[in-house]
Structure 1
Amino acid sequence: MKHLSIAATAAILAQNVAGQAMLRFACSQLVVDRVDPIVNPGMLYTPIFTRLWSTCTSCSFVEDLSNYWTAVMFFKNKEGQYQRVPQVGNGGPQGKLINNGGLDVYYIPSGKTTAFAKGFRMIAGDAGNTQDSAVDKSNICHRCWTSTNEDQFIGGAPCSGSDTVAIPKSPTCKMIRQTIIFPACWDGKNLDSVDHKTHVAYGTGGFGGASGGGNCPTSHPVKLPQVMFELMWNVTEFSDQGLWPSDGSDPFIYSMDLGGSAAHGDYVFGWKDDTLQRAMDQGCNLNHDCAGAGLHYQAPELYNACTIPQQAPEEVDGWLQGLPMGGSIVKV
């Protein structure tokens, strides 16, 4: 009965996420680069990240100039060589999103929701964490996607059911879906904090996961849109276990040379004017034009064309003799 209860709860969560009004849109890969303006501002050759911001926007909405960063996943073969795992767009109940690498971004409102203020930034997860037990699976998780079709929905709501903190290592995985859910409660005063975390908090109650953020504690009473990243890593070409490390070590790691426990995301607010607040108030949905909020969807060929050159030039594609993190950190 316990397993039936868990399955039923996951199904309810999936229906709630699919049915509620929220922004869900694609952001294409702007550049793969070893810079991290939040954790290591002004430095080059930090652990490699996918960066999604510039003076143009690589996202579906013209008005969104926010910064989105995530670590990059690599496959390690038995020879000790590395290759960056390709990314694909996501499907699911709300329809397929088209992006060139990158990720899918969600803004999920719940009740009275206050949009982020100019200059706001935060981090979800810990790039140096090595313990799966230190991570709340309802906030950061991975799912083994057993279908080669990203439109064929696998499992329940994000970070539920059999999802794991660790990166799955099974030859049955054709893709790995990574989910990063940010805190949705703010202290109402600080746009940032020393650790980029303590000015925000996760809510309590509710289902957790992608449910809008739960109830905010008195220390962080302001309800924010719940920001969620989803990334689809296509591991199909690496499913042959004959390629995997013979010592039993993990074949999939992030660019910090760590596993799923170190998965994390960076967020810097950058929406134009008050468009995000109006989008939350108007109940704008998915990646469609929303006249009441002044949101304008742009075609994939337009946002895919927004790219910038590397600030820390180096090879990041093809087979590499080591992770691209061996150079000294250089002060700009």
Structure 2
Amino acid sequence: MKWYSLLALAAPSQAYLRFGCATLSIQRLDPVVEPGKIPSAHLHQIIGGNAFNASMNGDIGEKASCTTCSFSEDFSNYWTAVLYFKHRNGSYKRVPQYPNSLLGSLTGGMTVYYIQQDFSSNGKNKITAFKPGFRMTVGSPTTSKGSNPGLHYTCLQNINTRGAETSDFPKQPCPAGIMAIHHFPACWDGQNLDSPNHQDHMYSTTKGMFTNAGPCPSTHPVRMPQLAFETMWNTTMFNDKALWPADGSQPFVWSYDDSKGYGTHGDYMFGWKGDALQRAMDSTSLTGTSLKTQSVAQANKCSIKNTVTENVDGWLEKLPGM
């Protein structure tokens, strides 16, 4: 089963990478928002290269020796918060992840997209790849309802369900789980690899739902790939409403204790080897990119030893760090 793709869109030289990455680690570290802090405030699920640690600087692509991603030259790291189920008795249990149906037997993880999107309306003829040392976030634990069209959920009727997105958690049990969707901004100021809040060096014109983003403004004129995550959370084992709160409200919370879902957020640290990502953005076919791939088994094998050791599974009296 093919677990990566580079698909051509309607316009010439527009395409996107879609590929899977297995889970690298689940622990309380956040080298973007809380660099050097051990442990970070809340739990994250992390994919990508094995250079991941509490303090990351420089060219990550030169520091990792393996990756959980299908493209073996992608040593970037990608992470989000972790989803928990809250029992009506007040205890918590981590919700497992499962891979997109296109991605084979990956261990958990996420689907990652790098999209060449709507650059023609921006007067551009090139997508500029991220640079070594680049990092960014999308969303925050304090995000309000509907403030970011790139942050959504889909109540999965089956593993291939798409569309019908909401900005908060689904209110009813979902037959095939919940998909969390994170679309990052794609307009860069052309100068800064980061900013104090990890967002101001970028500007979002995304409209969500993988629709064409708007043109970049003059303050952030450089069109970069539209990065997106899809995380499939297998909530099906918790679909018995007798376990849900007595008032019938939805029972899922992010690992920073958000029961609404508006505060979902994602982090990215660029780590592609050499010019691999730029080659992909310059091409409209997988063969034209010359990207190196690896097997699902190889991706699943890549791992790191956790810096923070604590119990994050089983029934917990409180969320890790809370």
Q: What TM-score do the two structures reach when normalised by structure 2?
A: 0.84
Considering only aligned residues, what root-mean-square deviation do their CA atoms show, in Å?
Answer: 1.8
d(CA) in 1 for partners of 2:162, 2:114: 21
Query: Is residue 108 of structure 2 the alignment partner of residue 101 of structure 1?
Result: yes
1:98-247 superposed matches below 5 A: 98-110=105-117, 111=119, 112-129=126-143, 131-133=144-146, 135-136=147-148, 138-147=149-158, 150=159, 153-156=160-163, 162-203=164-205, 208-211=208-211, 213-247=213-247
Q: CA deviation at 1:172?
A: 4.0
Residue type at the aligned position of 2:16: M
> Closer, same or farther in 2 for the Cα pair 1:265/1:294, shift >3 Å?
same
d(CA) in 1 for partners of 2:115, 2:211: 8
d(CA) in 2 for partners of 1:122, 1:145: 28
Q: Counterpart of 1:87 in 2: which secondary structure?
A: coil
Match of 1:30 in 2: 24
Q: Please say if residues 20 and 103 of structure 2, whose CA atoms lie closer than 8 Å, have aligned partners that are also in contact.
A: no
Q: Please say if residues 22 and 284 of structure 1, whose CA atoms lie closer than 8 Å, have aligned partners that are also in contact.
A: no
Q: Please say if residues 187 and 200 of structure 1, whose CA atoms lie closer than 8 Å, have aligned partners that are also in contact.
A: yes
Query: Is residue 321 of structure 2 the alignment partner of residue 314 of structure 1?
Result: no
1:86-97 superposed matches below 5 A: 86-91=96-101, 95-97=102-104
CA deviations on 1:122-151 (whole Å, 9 max, x unpaired) are: 00111233x324x32x3000010122xx1x
Which stretch of structure 1 is more off in the superposition, 180-189 or 49-58? 49-58
Q: CA deviation at 1:316?
A: 1.1
Q: CA deviation at 1:215?
A: 1.0
Q: 4+ residue runs of structure 1 moved beyond 6 angstroms?
A: none
Residue type at the aligned position of 1:146: Q
Q: CA deviation at 1:154?
A: 1.9
Q: CA deviation at 1:214?
A: 2.7
> Closer, same or farther in 2 for the Cα pair 1:122/1:97, shift >3 Å?
farther
d(CA) in 2 for partners of 1:219, 1:69: 28
Q: CA deviation at 1:102?
A: 1.1
d(CA) in 2 for partners of 1:173, 1:260: 19
Residue type at the aligned position of 1:227: L
d(CA) in 2 for partners of 1:219, 1:57: 34
Aligned match of 1:295 in 286, 291, 296? 291
The structure whose residues are more often helix, as a share, is 1
Q: Counterpart of 1:30 in 2: which secondary structure?
A: strand
Query: Is residue 85 of structure 2 the alignment partner of residue 75 of structure 1?
Result: yes
Match of 1:61 in 2: 71
Q: Counterpart of 2:192 in 1: which secondary structure?
A: coil
d(CA) in 1 for partners of 2:304, 2:225: 28
Q: Counterpart of 1:304 in 2: which secondary structure?
A: helix
CA deviations on 1:50-101 (whole Å, 9 max, x unpaired) are: 122312101101100001011100000011111110111113xxx3454211
> Closer, same or farther in 2 for the Cα pair 1:128/1:311, shift >3 Å?
farther
Matched length: 287
Q: Please say if residues 208 and 214 of structure 1, whose CA atoms lie closer than 8 Å, have aligned partners that are also in contact.
A: no
The gaps in structure 1 that reach 5 residues or longer are 1-14, 157-161, 327-332
Q: Counterpart of 1:266 in 2: which secondary structure?
A: strand
d(CA) in 2 for partners of 1:42, 1:222: 31
> Closer, same or farther in 2 for the Cα pair 1:172/1:193, shift >3 Å?
closer
d(CA) in 2 for partners of 1:319, 1:303: 29
Q: Please say if residues 83 and 317 of structure 1, whose CA atoms lie closer than 8 Å, have aligned partners that are also in contact.
A: yes
Q: Please say if residues 185 and 213 of structure 1, whose CA atoms lie closer than 8 Å, have aligned partners that are also in contact.
A: no
d(CA) in 2 for partners of 1:182, 1:320: 32
> Closer, same or farther in 2 for the Cα pair 1:171/1:267, shift >3 Å?
same
Aligned match of 1:84 in 89, 94, 107? 94
> Closer, same or farther in 2 for the Cα pair 1:172/1:295, shift >3 Å?
closer
Match of 2:6 in 1: none
> Closer, same or farther in 2 for the Cα pair 1:100/1:168, shift >3 Å?
same
1:4-19 superposed matches below 5 A: none
d(CA) in 1 for partners of 2:103, 2:296: 12
Which stretch of structure 1 is more off in the superposition, 29-38 or 169-178? 169-178
